Amino acid sequence: MRRALVVDDERKMRRILQIVLEGLDIESVAAASAEEALDAFGKQPFDLVLTDLKLPGMDALGLLPKLRELDADVPIIVLTAYGTVQTAVDAMKLGAFDFILKPFAVENLELLIRRALDLRRVHTENLVLREQAAQVPAFENLVGSSTAMREVYATIRQVAPTRSSVLITGETGTGKELVARAIHKLSPRADHVFVALNCAAIPADLLESELFGHTRGAFTGAQADRLGKFALANGGTLFLDEIGDLAYPLQAKLLRVLQEGVVERIGSNKPMSVDVRVLSSTNCDLGTAMREGRFREDLYYRLNVFHIHLPPLRERREDVVDLARFFLDRFARELGKGPLELTEDACRVLAAYDWPGNVRELQNLMERAAVLAKGGQVGREAFALALPSSTSGVVQAPPVQSDSFALEPAVEDVERKTILRALGAASDNKAQAARLLGVSERTLWYKLKRYGL
Ligand SMILES: Nc1ncnc2c1ncn2[C@@H]1O[C@H](COP(=O)(O)OP(=O)(O)OP(=O)(O)O)[C@@H](O)[C@H]1O
Ligand SMILES: [Mg+2]
């Protein structure tokens, strides 16, 4: 039977926690202070600690390091009141497994306890078997336990239950869409749809109808009534990807919908009320866009009620190897191969690289390594080729046609060559090439197709 330690100075709260634990078949011992907790912890092993943040005398922040000394990886869940969330985040930095806000729904606490015990089990199995356990995502398909990512998880947990807008920023490939999906999945809307719309992928004149819908005959080509994404996402979540690319006139319309909660289809003046939670993302700097008058400030504040920033991978290098292992595991399984292990040397090389294409680039690299792997070991040579050590991969562009003054072909020629150079510099990684070119991946795709590249 598993055993938990409950620390709270309030008798009633201790009782509630003990009842919840009992329901999960977990034996528990209660302590009314940090000192009592340490005393109990010294006497017998525990699989889990539930502690209130505020305690008389030593608080949870003081208690945490002391517990860690006694047991390096017992999961510790901190209970906190609304005003003390920042301190709870500090507790997570000290190694708490998670925190939960009081008052809490019993199901949420139960879920957290189960997750904590799962983690504990994986740790123990690891120790006992001395084996590389399958890499499990740290949080809702998101891998990485760097301080930065743990803060991201904490924010996701905090914003998910609300219906507030969240703006997710970060370089290309940092996981913005994954975060949006996690927010939806942890929200009360999880049973409804998650609709994603990439604002950069659709020409401006079609985007309006894509967002708000149209009626038959509203414009040439509108052959039937059509619902927009807002209507489709009713009850659920709408994820507006690359919001920075939204044309200025559409920004005003979007703002109206967000403010009033009603959409009007093009060609109709019957407003339709919708209940949609809007998440958006961008990899461009909206601050600059606002200063330059390309993005409306009022819309920005509407979208940015909460902000989650995903730091580039090079700023959280401690996640690189975890991510690499996770992807290798996954691709090996998909390919029906046995487990693949990274050599220490390979880990060092990966951790040192700058990852301009971030997690997506790492994922592509691991896919390639998994396909090519022979035997169970993946060494640095598996991806030496893909690490852009020089620009030797630059593709030669065809010669310029210089016997004409026509502007368009000349511009296209320069465009094509620049794309080829970017692809060369990015070792064919499209995400990275798009970033170098300063265009969205969709735009790049479109251009590649157009130039037959
Ligand atoms: N923390 C993570 N754990 C696991 N997989 C991740 C993580 N971050 C990103 N990925 C994976 O990397 C890829 C890129 O992530 P995602 O599409 O969410 O990035 P993005 O920030 O939206 O990029 P872009 O700006 O180019 O659209 C996806 O396949 C995603 O599953
Ligand atoms: Mg994206």
Ligand 1 pocket, residue 431 CB under 6 Å: yes
Q: How far is CA 100 from CA 47, 91, 137, 260, in A?
A: 18, 12, 20, 33
Ligand 1 pocket, residue 322 CB under 6 Å: no
> What was the pLDDT predicted at 394?
34
Question: Of residues 442 and 155, which shows the higher confidence score?
Answer: 155
| Distance of CA 361 from the midpoint of ligand 1 (Å) | 9
Ligand 1 pocket, residue 173 CB under 6 Å: yes
| Class of residue 25 by CB neighbours under 10 A (exposed 0-12, middle 13-18, buried 19+) | exposed
The CATH code belonging to domain 316-384 is 1.10.8.60
Q: What is the dihedral of CA 174, 177, 182, 188, to 10 degrees?
A: 150
| SS3 state at 424 | helix
Please determine, for residue 397, whether its predicted confidence score (pLDDT) is greater than 50. Answer: no
**For the chain, domain boundaries:** 2-129, 162-310, 316-384, 407-450
Residue closest via CA to ligand 1's atom 28 equals 360
Give residue 447's pLDDT band: very low, low, confident or very high (50, 70, 90): confident
Q: Which amino acid is at 53?
A: L
Q: Is the pTM of this model over 0.75?
A: no
Of all residues in the chain, the percent with pLDDT exceeding 90 is 57
Residue closest via CA to ligand 1's atom 7 equals 175
The CATH code belonging to domain 162-310 is 3.40.50.300
Cβ < 5 A residues, ion ligand 2: 177
Q: How do residues 69-122 score in pLDDT, each as one tens digit?
A: 888 789 999 998 877 778 888 888 888 888 898 889 999 999 999 989 887 777
> Class assignment of domain 2-129?
alpha beta
Across the chain, mean pLDDT equals 87
Residue closest via CA to ligand 1's atom 13 equals 360
Name the CATH topology of 407-450: Arc Repressor Mutant, subunit A (1.10.10)
| Distance of CA 358 from the midpoint of ligand 1 (Å) | 8
Question: Of residues 321 and 438, which shows the higher confidence score?
Answer: 321
Mean local confidence (pLDDT), 258-281: 92
The alpha-helical segments, DSSP class H, found in 196-285 are 204-212, 229-232, 248-260
Asked if 2-129 and 162-310 have one fold, the answer is yes
Ligand 1 pocket, residue 282 CB under 6 Å: no
